[in-house]
Amino acid sequence: MIKVNGLSKKFKIYSNPWYRGLEWVTFGRKKLHQEFWALRDISFAVNGGECLGIIGPNGAGKSTLLKILTRALYPTAGKFEIQGRVLSLLELGTGFNSALTGRQNLYNSVHLLGLPREYLEDRIGDIENFAGLGDFFDRPVRIYSSGMYIRLAFSLFVFLKPEVLIIDETLSVGDVFFQQKSFAKMREIISGGTTCLFVSHDTAAVQNICQRAILLEKGEMTFIGDAVETVSRYFGTIGSNRKNRVSLEKKDKTVDELDDILMEPTEIMTHNILSGRDNRHGTGELEIVAARITDKMGQDTMQVEMLEYLTFYLLLRANDEIASPSAGIHLFDRLGNVVFATGTRQLRKTLPDLHAGDEIIVKIELKLNVQPGEYTFSLGTAEALPEESPNVALIHDRHNLLGPIVVTADYNELMPFYGIAQLPMDVEFSKVKK
């Protein structure tokens, strides 16, 4: 059982380490540090046999929270109570000495954890079996692969039968077979009454093992509840990191009326998502001055449910004569693969020729028929080169690494498809008469 009450952690940041000494000799009357609150007022409780997920973007305070709970850091304020022996996979392998064999290291780790030797002696056979390292078990850890290292450490931890188990990201290192075995083992020990905290960016794993989860953002707990909901809120926060949650007051307008408003250059400029000069290239003759992204209700967002639309409004300005210009979009998945890329030219929608100083607004509606997750995108303008192949164009302006676009889904509902993206598919049937 874990009970956390009002936990806060403040780090003092000194620009010069000796300023701390100066504070000491003035008995703190002179304040020379900056405060950084890594955690603020965190409270939750986890019961035995329950697994609580902790998710949040990098720097949200997840590791700090775990370190405090494993007593590697002291909290600035608040209390926590943990019943039973805590083992943390954060410590995974930290105690390993590369000159010793796997077996010797296990004994060493047990000493490091302050446990008696006999404790391990009863279990060493099971651990050896589970780790499946074969001859390597009695060879120096120095020659282990990183996967073997994790296997050794994880095997030790699950067989020590902790009352409270704290698991960090590390678990995703082993190969897929060992991962499956590990997750099965984790479920087994959780159902055996072990309290578990699971910190991961692998939201699918969190939803899979945890009943409940908490969402940390900038040190604050912004949500606690059902794991599935927490994950979907987590994706929501990534989308709202930018200041683009400005709701449009004119909600009751029809879509056409909305378009009239949204197609205004000043509207696009004020809700521009392009940040400036970073990640940009091109000749600059047809410039993307501003871009705005909304959902179908005209609300600024980059978060969308799968199979729903996002609308991109691009304000383009020609700095030269442009014949048959084109504007387009690339969508990239988490691994950097181009999921989809197209432009007005590919859709056979010819934009008018432009003179220097002309401005044009292009509206792109994109249906996100892709699996839930995070995507980045790029926006670009180009001019066809008639003497070249139709698939080659001159890039005028391209903004890369925009986003992230977050595609969400309700995992409790039946998914409309599985895989990377939905392809057009029709089904017909007729019952065969007997």
Partner 1 sequence: MIFSIWKYRKFIWKSAARDLWYRYAGSSIGFLWNVINPLCQIMIYTIVFSQLMVIRIPNLPSGFGFAIYLCSGLIPWLGFSETVSRCTNSFVENANYLRKLAIPEQVFVAQNAGSSFFSLMIGMALLVAICFILGHYPAWSWISLPLVLILLQGFGFGLGLLFGVLNAFFRDIGQVVNLFLQLWFWATPIVYTENILPESLKSWLFLNPAYPFIHSLQAIIVDQVWPAGNMWAAMILLAFVFPLLGYLLLRKLRPELRDVL
CB-based contacts of 382: which residues, under 8 Å, 6+ apart? Answer: 286, 325, 326, 327, 328, 343, 345, 393, 394, 395, 396
d(CA 76, CA 189): 32
Part of the chain binding partner 1 (CB under 8 A), chosen from 68-76, 120-128, 150-158, 264-272: 68-76
Whether the CB-CB separation of 257 and 370 falls below 8 Å is answered with no
Closest separation in Å from C-beta 309 to partner 1: 47
d(CA 157, CA 100): 18
Closest separation in Å from C-beta 59 to partner 1: 16
Establish if 434 lies at the interface with partner 1 (CB under 8 A): no
Among 71, 245, 251, 363, binds partner 1 (CB under 8 A): 71
Closest separation in Å from C-beta 397 to partner 1: 46
Establish if 37 lies at the interface with partner 1 (CB under 8 A): no
Establish if 94 lies at the interface with partner 1 (CB under 8 A): yes
Instruction: Return the closest-CA partner of residue 149 out of 116, 101, 185, 188.
Output: 101
Establish if 76 lies at the interface with partner 1 (CB under 8 A): yes
**Residue whose CB is less far from partner 1, 99 or 204:** 99
Instruction: Return the closest-CA partner of residue 154 out of 136, 135, 169, 134.
Output: 169
**Residue whose CB is less far from partner 1, 38 or 354:** 38
Among 111, 251, 355, 363, binds partner 1 (CB under 8 A): 111
**Residue whose CB is less far from partner 1, 171 or 364:** 171
Closest separation in Å from C-beta 90 to partner 1: 5
37-167-130 Cα angle (round to 5): 165
156-160-163 Cα angle (round to 5): 135
Part of the chain binding partner 1 (CB under 8 A), chosen from 18-26, 193-201, 211-219, 414-422: 18-26
Amino acid at 207: Q
* Count of residues that bind partner 1 according to CB under 8 A: 26
Q: Which residues pair with 304 in a beta bridge?
A: 407
One DSSP character per residue, 239-276 reads: HTTSS--PPPS-TTS-HHHHHHHHT-HHHHHHT----S
Which residues of the shown chain bind partner 1 in the complex (CB under 8 A)?
11-12, 17-18, 20-21, 67, 70-74, 76, 86, 88, 90-91, 94-95, 97, 99, 108, 111-112, 114, 117
